[in-house]
């Protein structure tokens, strides 16, 4: 990653000025500023708007029934998925600085909530998809494999198979729609965003 996007202030990519919190509030940014930088007046990347909207949506969704350890656990799970989706989408990378600390935090919450850990499932998923990646010429990134292994330890084989199935269907639909409507052929797509969609649907649908 050439530039961190989560552990520093958001900034304008044109003039490099740090964006104030008010600049990142979607309603203000869109309606008042037209989602342009207040300093150089150039348009801000749309990913900033997507980040703020989805982050706010997940926060409201998880906390709508009150704040407790279970809802906080789900929030951290979705936060990890969301942040890793952004790094995969922007940089084609499952950022270890996000993956490992948040996984260890989730592991601690998991144990605190007295939930079962599925170590055998995690090891099995790791070995299975490592072999799959090796024999299919790296059709799946090793970051994806590690992420799936971590999630498998927390969720078990039934949940992870549902997530993989939903992610694969969504990824396939994405490619088909882009080919039919926009005549775009993707030989490779970031998979973590689709895994995150699968996780979201598994948790809430």
Q: What is the predicted pLDDT for the residue at 31?
A: 57
Q: What would the two tokens of residue 118 be?
A: 């599925």
Are 10 and 19 in contact by the 8 Å Cβ rule? The answer is yes
**Local confidence band at 105 (pLDDT 50, 70, 90 cut-offs):** very high
Distance CA 182, CA 193 (A): 20
pTM of the model: 0.79
What pLDDT digit, counting tens, does each position of 39-72 carry? 777 776 666 667 777 777 777 877 776 788 888 9
**Local confidence band at 160 (pLDDT 50, 70, 90 cut-offs):** very high
Between 83 and 63, residue with greater pLDDT:
83
Are 151 and 199 in contact by the 8 Å Cβ rule? The answer is yes
- Closest to 138 in 3D by CA, of 89, 85, 191, 179: 191
Residue 2 has pLDDT above 80, yes or no: no
Q: What is the predicted pLDDT for the residue at 138?
A: 75
The separation between CA 55 and the C-alpha centre of its own chain, rounded to angstroms, equals 11
Residue 104 has pLDDT above 70, yes or no: yes
**Local confidence band at 25 (pLDDT 50, 70, 90 cut-offs):** low
Domain boundaries, the chain: 67-204
Distance CA 12, CA 59 (A): 25
What pLDDT digit, counting tens, does each position of 161-189 carry? 999 999 999 999 998 998 888 878 877 88
Average pLDDT value over all residues in the chain: 83
């Amino acid at each position: 990653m050439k530039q961190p996007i989560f552990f520093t202030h958001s900034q304008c990519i044109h003039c490099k000025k740090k964006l104030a919190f008010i600049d990142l509030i979607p309603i203000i940014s869109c309606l008042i500023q037209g989602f342009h930088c207040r300093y150089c007046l150039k348009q801000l990347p749309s990913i900033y708007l997507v980040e703020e909207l989805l982050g706010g949506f997940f926060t409201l969704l998880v906390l709508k029934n009150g704040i407790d350890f279970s809802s906080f656990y789900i929030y951290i799970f979705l936060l990890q998925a969301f942040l890793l989706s952004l790094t995969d989408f922007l940089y084609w990378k499952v950022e270890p600085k996000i993956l490992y600390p948040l996984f260890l935090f989730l592991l601690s919450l998991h144990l605190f909530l007295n939930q079962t850990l599925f170590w055998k499932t995690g090891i099995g998923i790791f070995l299975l998809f490592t072999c799959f990646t090796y024999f299919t010429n790296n059709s799946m990134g090793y970051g994806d494999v590690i992420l799936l292994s971590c999630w498998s330890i927390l969720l078990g084989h039934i949940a992870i198979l549902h997530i993989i199935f939903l992610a694969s269907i969504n990824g396939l639909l994405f490619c088909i729609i882009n080919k039919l409507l926009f005549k775009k052929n993707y030989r490779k797509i970031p998979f973590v965003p689709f895994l995150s969609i699968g996780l979201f649907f598994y948790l809430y649908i």
